[in-house]
Structure 1
Amino acid sequence: MSITKRLKAVGPGAMVAAAFIGPGTVTTASVTGAEFGYALLWTMVFSIGATIVLQEMSARLGLVSGEGLGEALRERFDNQIVEYVSIFLVVGAIGIGTAAYEAGNILGGAAGLATITGIDSTVWGVVMGLVAGLLLYTGRYKLIEKALIGLVAVMAFSFVASAILIGPDPGSIAMGFVPGIPSGSLYLITGLIGTTIVGYNLFLHASNVQERWSGPDDIGHSRIDTVLSIVAGGVITITIMVTAAAAFEPGTQISDIGRMAEQLRPIAGPYAELFFSIGIFAAGFTSATTAPLAGAWATTGALGWDSDMQSTQFRAVWGTILSVGVLSVLLGGSPVQIIVFAQVVNGILLPIVAVFLIYAMNQLDLLGEYTNGSIANALGAIVTLIVVWLGVRTLLSVAGVL
């Protein structure tokens, strides 16, 4: 397949990349680079591989079964109690989780625009919410997909340009891909992996591939899309880490991404600050659009509602999630607290979703010849075990045990 055809296949996977590269990812990657330099770049190699494994399964499930992950979850259990518990987990955890992420997405994107323009972030938060709402209200998947692909390209250019302008050391970058766990870094390793492998993206991917393609014959296109998009997303995260590592002495503690963008000025001039702020905005806006979509597809699928993007029920769900994000800006919500809450929700949900996904991918009556092979199951099991470990660590950390 030619390069042109491969690029034309990019679409649903790019939306997944747009979803996981939000302000939370920018924050975690920046803090990691500032504190540990290039030492944890290897973590992103694992994160990219693990995300590809789970997202490929999710996309295959959607293409072969014609169902979203929420629908498949609701229909796989004969026991009504188990079915109701599953529905509660999807509606509660995905709904609350995407709403929590949405608040952080809008707050982060607004902060980027505020740094560029000097206009208060509250104003930009409301504007972002309105624009995202109008885009979603069109119900035109191809328009939304193209808009998000364009913003991912802007984001990639902005962060890569920042990394080049600041002049990192190639040798140090190469050494960062050698696995190692510096003292005190385990929490940030957990954070990097947790911000890349996101539970609601599995619901998003299983549904949005159906908007782009029509069935099993397109699995090849979907796999190309998934690999290219997630690798590109991972590279963006790596460039953020590299920029922070080059900008600060190892051990530096930073807590404000807007301040970090401003501190790039003495090293790389005003363009680094501009590019970094544009990147933060793009990260916030793309995630602010995809989170409500994921929440709507998951909730409507689990409840058996109409999952058409132009249906009233579908619009009501994403509208509620989007409204929570805008309201958090108006009420002056704390981005740090919101991001912590979102990580807790993801830590609880992701292991459950990953286990169910592996279960669903081995159902002959659902997928026939497209069920997982032994290699896919082994890779899925390894990723799931690590995800379970991450979930437990997240909960124990928040509880103050670790």
Structure 2
Amino acid sequence: MDDAVSSRRPHGSRPGPPRTAATEPPDQGPGAVVPQRPPSLRRVGPGIVVAATGVGAGDLVATLIAGAELGYVLLWAAVVGCVVKIALAEATGRFHLATGTTIIQGWRSLTRWATGYFGVYVVVWGFVYGATAMTASALPLAALFPDVMPLPAWGALCGVAGLVLAVTSRYAVFEKIMTVLIGVMFLVVVGLAVLVAPDVPAVLAGLVPRLPDGSVVYTLGLVGGVGGTITMAAYGYWVNAKGWRDAGWVRVMRWDNRIAYVTTGVFVVAMLVVGAELLNAASISLTQGDRGLLDLGEVLEDRFGPVVATVFLVGFFAAAFSSLLGVWNGVSLLFADFVATMRSSTGSPARAEHPERSLPFRAFVLWLTFPPMLLLLVDQPFQLVLAYGVLGALFMPFLAGTLLWLLNTGRVPREWRNRWLSNVLLVAAGLLFVVLCVEQLRGYLS
């Protein structure tokens, strides 16, 4: 097994069962200096999961619209967005590995207000996101099979499929499914970018930072929208599920994280190319929201024929369903740990070997699946959408700020605390998301 940890057996001792990184407690305490395991492509996994979850249909539309409106001018913003998310995911994974605890337990150690905020946020967010994810996954299926059943039925089917996979699949199976989905996404979108023949000099010029008039909103959206929100906090749980449990895995985690977000960066750049070459030149506008991808499907059919349009819809489904499945798994892990932490008198519950089997995990998957089906049939209530938007806008500044707090204090062993580069990137991320938060709140409240 690639992730197995070899250990020497004292002379004369009796052989026992194989000891692996998933089952063997670290020989040294959390945060102690331990041998760093070498990174390799075979060990990449949790980063791919968090990247596949974070890039959904809405991110594709936002990137396409930026390309359609401004061409390659904001290409640099997509690159900055990847760097910011690398810093956030690395900080989350490092906290889990260096302390032997979880981000929820870290928040509990700061203040009960932190865990209280998360508890309110995750319940409201989960209810509305459930409907959003099911609708996004249903749209390409309804377009591919228009006469089979209506959109709400496709959405409900996707939700139930996500539920079944979340509660029955071990992490290894879940990771393989997510890898296949992001592979389909990547091949389809990069293939489209090649098909539309990008203007290479214009692409390179887009790497030079500049802000044309009226581009601030697009810029913030590109930087902040590349690769996830609440699912960033789930990265540490997927790292642990992979069998990476101590500081000896930090180097591997960093490699995994960078590979994943470089892949995401290529993916986002490819979408910007499609928007710039296919939509900008023809002055074609897309519908806001996930339905904008259906507009792109029609443009592709007119220009390249039905085969290309069909392949694109398959990629659209892979992007949307990977986000659904990642949230069904990752955010349910967060909720299960939240319940266990709040029930623990010390705030540090014993680590569950298979948290996906726990009642809180399964209860939250049910919460994501069945109550939101009501929103598939009716317009989403304004007050609920407002609460969802406000809480969602506040989450990323909360994550960046609490990671700065946790990783610069005695809660983390000295050798794994933030260095200057991590602090600079997390401060930059926090300021960015505060500005995004203000802009989003202004939009919702107006």
Give TM-score, length-normalised by structure 2.
Answer: 0.81
Q: Does 1:314 align with 2:361?
A: yes
> Which residue in 2 is equivalent to 1:235?
266
User: Percent of aligned pairs with the same residue?
Assistant: 25
Residue 264 of structure 1 deviates from its aligned partner by 1.3
- Corresponding residue to 2:56 among 22, 28, 31: 22
- Corresponding residue to 1:57 among 58, 83, 91: 91
Correspondences of 1:205-354 after superposition (within 5 Å) = 205-212=235-242, 213-249=244-280, 252-255=284-287, 256-303=292-339, 304=341, 308-329=355-376, 331-333=377-379, 344-354=390-400
Q: Which moved more, 1:336-345 or 1:361-370?
A: 336-345
Q: Which moved more, 1:189-198 or 1:307-316?
A: 189-198
Residue 180 of structure 1 deviates from its aligned partner by 1.7
Give the number of the structure whose residues are more often helix, by fraction: 1
Residue 174 of structure 1 deviates from its aligned partner by 2.0
State the AA in 2 paired with 1:129. G
Contact 1:108 1:335 in 2 (8 A): no
Q: Does 1:377 align with 2:423?
A: yes
Q: Which moved more, 1:301-310 or 1:280-289?
A: 301-310
1:226–1:92: structure 2 CA closer, same or farther, 3 Å change rule? same
> Which residue in 1 is equivalent to 2:181?
151
Paired with 2:183 and 2:106, the residues of 1 have a C-alpha distance of 33
> Which residue in 2 is equivalent to 1:185?
215
Q: Which moved more, 1:95-104 or 1:280-289?
A: 95-104
- Corresponding residue to 2:205 among 175, 182, 199: 175
Residue 284 of structure 1 deviates from its aligned partner by 0.9
Query: Greater Rg, structure 1 or structure 2?
Result: 2
Q: Which moved more, 1:306-315 or 1:215-224?
A: 306-315
Contact 2:400 2:430 in 1 (8 A): yes
Aligned length: 390
Contact 1:105 1:287 in 2 (8 A): yes
1:27–1:332: structure 2 CA closer, same or farther, 3 Å change rule? farther
Post-superposition Cα deviations, 1:326-358, rounded to whole Å, max 9, x if no partner, equal 4433x1556999998755432111101210011
Q: Does 1:358 align with 2:404?
A: yes
For the aligned residue pairs, the C-alpha RMSD in angstroms reads 2.5
Paired with 1:179 and 1:342, the residues of 2 have a C-alpha distance of 32
Contact 2:82 2:261 in 1 (8 A): yes
Higher relative contact order (CA 8 A, sep 6+): 1
- Corresponding residue to 1:39 among 51, 73, 81: 73
Structure 2 unmatched runs, 5+: 1-37, 344-348
Paired with 1:24 and 1:345, the residues of 2 have a C-alpha distance of 18
Residue 44 of structure 1 deviates from its aligned partner by 0.5
Contact 2:59 2:225 in 1 (8 A): yes
Q: Which moved more, 1:4-13 or 1:212-221?
A: 4-13
> Which residue in 2 is equivalent to 1:10?
44
Residue 123 of structure 1 deviates from its aligned partner by 2.8
